[in-house]
Structure 1
Amino acid sequence: MKNILIPTDFSQNAKKATDYALSLFNEQDITITLLNVFYIPYASADVVYSYSDIANENVTQLFKHELERINKKFPDLKAKIKTSFHAGDVINVVCSIEKKEKIDLIVMGTQGASGLAEVFMGSRTTAMIKNVKTPVLAVPEQAQYKPAKRILFAAGEKLIGQKVNIAVLKEIANRNQSKIEALYVSDCDENKESIIQSIDGELNLNFGEIPCDLIVKDGLNVEKEIQKYAEQHPIDLMAMITSRGSIFHESVTKLVAMHTKLPLLVMHTNTKTD
């Protein structure tokens, strides 16, 4: 992994995401781009130019303060930090940048526990995950960085026979000498054993020598079973695979709403694995 993109509005949530990313990926060969996107309201050309100049000056100062904060907090900083700001819609800008600059991971802060269940469905993080092809690491405001020794991976049928970009998850696991606990929640008995065998085969194929245990639980509510497991075990990071469809919203939203302290790595199906 070489390039990480962190959209920022300079809020505490965004700073939490930046700090988490730097703690996890503070290496000389990694470039982290802090991206600010500002909205210019519709107006005459003269007003737009004036607004853009003001925004430019303000964002430059905010980036200066943020870089000072980062250097103070990370005196042994090894990763290269770049800053970038654009006018427009944040989703469109990120989708353009992820392709042009070959972004490997997008890191975003999520809102605090209060009101999360109500507003997260329409939040920028959810919209980002839905629209980008790059894996997204959602970092809750209450998350505290610690090495990801135990990773809870929500395994399911989406893993079977799909092209999934799990390179980021494998890199995190290798960096931290992690153990991956792949949890499959079965909601029926039909073809259960066949599905379990297929998932186990995919896990062995994808993770190779990385320690990975398949845990099977019966239950009708996948999110609640994942929540229960995470609460009963010292999990440091959650990971899941999703497809960009309608079901995706509910799964991601429920998982993040339930876990206001655990970062969540979301990877997509139908993307290249190289």
Structure 2
Amino acid sequence: MRKILIPTDFSENAFNAIKFAIDLFKYEISEFYIMHAYQDEIYESEDLIDESDVKKVTETVSNSSKTSLERTLKTIKTISPNPKHTYNIISANNMLIDEMDAIVDDKNIDVIIMGTKGKTNDKKITFGSHTLQVIKYVQCPVLAIPENYKYTQPKHILFPTNYLIPYKRRELKLLCEMASTYRAVVDVLYISVSDKLSLRQKDNQKFIKEELHKTTLNFKIANSKHIINSIYQHIKENDINMLVMVNTRHSFLENMIYQSTIDEFGLNLDIPFLALQNIKRY
């Protein structure tokens, strides 16, 4: 059974991510956890003036959270009465990252799906701060859905890699099953000024080949030192409709997240983005 965690702030963008998740896994027996972490809302409330107000404001925000989750669940079941899907709602007086971490561990979540922006994110920024925090700190694959993205079956997936890290079997299995369900083609793109691979790189390439055996793989090379430009160019020239990268030490994504600005990292992405974490989980 596929286990999917979806955080929501009840924005249109958040519900769009829920709809995407439902469509993406419509053929799989799946359990969805729709969660709202509201601790920030308590302390940002205009009704909170001193400590004596905390209990009252907490109760109000908590009730609103539960009501909104119930309403969201009702809407989901109306638009997608899929017998393969079951749903759980979680309302938590906690910080978003802490609550997601706890749920990932407790429920053994396979993938987090979320919108790239919430209610308050800057329209000029491709990835909102919450999305980047989740990608950085929550130990689970994250599929980020762009604002206003209309669901499209993932038919052509781009997977840039430097082959320097041994990938984790569980995470590649997730990618393999998502891709094979829709008979997607996966372009494995090596971006380097040299087209030669070391023995370690060849071993890692072989592992990718073995783990993605159910899919059609195209191993490609971009002779360049400009990673972001090469990825963006490949997306535009090859009608890519999902980007997959790995967030770990010595990876392309680590360099982009920690050394680039958010705008540069965003790549002007208007397609779903799957960030694997390369963490050994069972």
Q: Under TM normalisation by the shorter chain, which class is it?
A: 0.7 to 0.9
Tell me the residue number matched to 2:110: 104
- Kindly report which structure 2 residues correspond to 1:194-273, keeping only aligned pairs within 5 A, or say none: 194=198, 197-243=202-248, 247=255, 249=257, 250=259, 253=262, 257-269=266-278, 271-272=279-280
Structure 1 residue 96 displacement after superposition:
1.1
- Kindly report which structure 2 residues correspond to 1:27-106, keeping only aligned pairs within 5 A, or say none: 27=27, 29-39=29-39, 40-41=42-43, 44=51, 47-76=53-82, 78-106=84-112
Letter in 2 for 1:247: N
Q: Which runs of no fewer than 5 residues in structure 1 stay unpaired?
A: none
Cα displacement string for residues 219-268 of structure 1 (whole angstroms, at most 9, x for unaligned residues)? 11111111101101121211011216862515794676224320000001
Tell me the residue number matched to 1:170: 176
Letter in 1 for 2:61: A
Distance 1:49 1:64 in 2: 23
Describe the shift of the 1:33–1:27 C-alpha distance in structure 2 as closer, same or farther (beyond 3 A). Answer: farther
Distance 1:207 1:176 in 2: 14
Structure 1 residue 218 displacement after superposition:
0.7
Calculate the TM-score normalised by the size of structure 1: 0.86
Residue 222 of structure 2 aligns to a residue whose secondary structure is strand
Greater displacement, 126-135 / 103-112: 103-112
Describe the shift of the 1:34–1:222 C-alpha distance in structure 2 as closer, same or farther (beyond 3 A). Answer: same
CA contact (8 A) 1:129 1:136 kept: yes
Letter in 2 for 1:228: Q
Cα displacement string for residues 61-110 of structure 1 (whole angstroms, at most 9, x for unaligned residues)? 21232123223322446311111110121111111111011111111101
Distance 2:256 2:267 in 1: 16
- Kindly report which structure 2 residues correspond to 1:127-166, keeping only aligned pairs within 5 A, or say none: 127-158=133-164, 160-163=165-168, 165-166=171-172
Describe the shift of the 1:28–1:157 C-alpha distance in structure 2 as closer, same or farther (beyond 3 A). Answer: closer
Describe the shift of the 1:116–1:182 C-alpha distance in structure 2 as closer, same or farther (beyond 3 A). Answer: same
Structure 1 residue 11 displacement after superposition:
0.6
Structure 1 residue 168 displacement after superposition:
1.7
Larger RCO (CA within 8 A; separation ≥ 6) = 1
Greater displacement, 50-59 / 35-44: 35-44
Tell me the residue number matched to 1:184: 190
Describe the shift of the 1:75–1:161 C-alpha distance in structure 2 as closer, same or farther (beyond 3 A). Answer: closer
Describe the shift of the 1:157–1:234 C-alpha distance in structure 2 as closer, same or farther (beyond 3 A). Answer: same
CA contact (8 A) 1:219 1:225 kept: yes
Structure 1 residue 133 displacement after superposition:
1.3
CA contact (8 A) 1:143 1:260 kept: no
Identity %: 24
Structure 1 residue 27 displacement after superposition:
4.7
Distance 1:17 1:231 in 2: 23
Q: Give the RMSD, CA atoms, in angstroms.
A: 2.6
Q: Which runs of no fewer than 5 residues in structure 2 stay unpaired?
A: none
Calculate the TM-score normalised by the size of structure 2: 0.84
- Show structure 1 runs of 4+ deviating over 6 A: none
CA contact (8 A) 1:26 1:77 kept: no
Letter in 1 for 2:210: L
Tell me the residue number matched to 1:18: 18
